[in-house]
Amino acid sequence: MAFWRSKKNDSSDDSSTSFSPSAGEEASGGLFGKMKNGLQKTRRVLGTDIRDLFKAEGRLVDEEFLGELFARLVRTDMGAGPAGRIRDRVAKDFRGRVVHLEEVVETITEDIREQLKQDHGDLAKADSPPTVILVVGVNGSGKTTSIGKLSHHLVSQGHKIVLGAGDTFRAAAVEQLTIWAERIGCEIVTGPSGVDPASVAYQTTEKAIEIGADYAIIDTAGRLQTQGKLMLELEKIRRVIDKKLPGAPHEVLLVLDATAGQNAISQAKGFSNAAGCTGIILSKLDGSAKGGVVLPIREQFELPVKFVGLGEGIEDMTKFDPDTFAAALLEA
């Protein structure tokens, strides 16, 4: 049996979760400023490495230069494929010429923008509410916090939300999501410790229909992509949601930790097959120098990156915009 809690105001503090807006947000310069701040570590590595390739008088684009450029691009965990395409683009445009930093940066930015181009980055929306969103990922990926931030984002747009605490074997996850629900001001469905997560998912969907919610967002147990039994559990959750609301879930978001770099690729591979993922939330981008990992994720799985986590505060999640990301990655 699952339980639901009505929204309430709670001014108490929680030492494990930060709810304050990011420092200096007023002066952040909007989406570009947020993205630029979030990519600080990646930009510092990549920008410094590329600047170091140049002298004041410029640099001849030859095999030595192209090899050094490739190595520096790979350091951001963008992988050999995307880095190789950027190197080849620079070679095509400038081979045999003496060029300056600004020219190469412009070409790299344009190529990254093209590689990240995606047809759609908006959340899926059901023909009639509620839209059911299932959120999956490994423990420690920032999954539950990402749900909280996404819920805040939707509530701030005027939407009515129901959360489902489907990570029933981890009391801390249920407690954390309950705190998010209370702070945001939305309903939450929980269950006794160890209850079948599918029953929580079913009753979350049922509650969303009953109260006329716009979105039901359901957490799931953190798992490794190699844990077959737990991956089968995800399939069961999908089936029971569809039984209650045909066509649901409408969105299955995979939370990937940007600090995991290339390890995030193997996670995406396992989850995209078993869970039928439709999009990605890239968390902890501000804490990583491996922000380039978004390129091989897009290359290998063709899953749109829908949101990125750019800090600790409740406001520090934003919709992913490829043009802004590419520009912020190399902005001085």
Question: Residues within the annotated binding site for GTP?
Answer: 137-144, 219-223, 283-286
Evaluate the omega torsion of the peptide bond into residue 249 and state whether it is cis, within 30 degrees of 0.
yes
Query: Bridge partners of 59?
Result: 99
Q: How far is residue 28's CA from residue 232's CA, in Å, rounded to a whole number?
A: 43
How far from each other are the two terminal CA atoms of the chain, in whole angstroms? 55
Q: Is 55 helix (H, G, I), strand (E, B) or coil?
A: strand
Place of tokens 């190197």: 87
Of residues 105, 94, 219, 208, the one with CA closest to residue 159: 208
Q: State residue 133 phi and psi, 5-degree precision.
A: -115, 125
Rounded-to-5 percentages of helix, strand, coil across the chain: 50, 15, 35
Phi, psi (degrees; rounded to nearest 5) at 302: 50, 30
Q: What residues are designated binding site?
A: 137-144, 219-223, 283-286
Amino acid at 35: M
**Helix ranges, 170-277 (H):** 171-184, 197-211, 228-244, 263-274
Report the distance separating Cα 215 and Cα 151, nearest Å: 9
Given the DSSP bridges, would you call strands 251-257 and 215-219 parallel, antiparallel or unpaired?
unpaired
Comparing CA positions, the residue from 78, 71, 73, 110 lying closest to residue 300 is 78
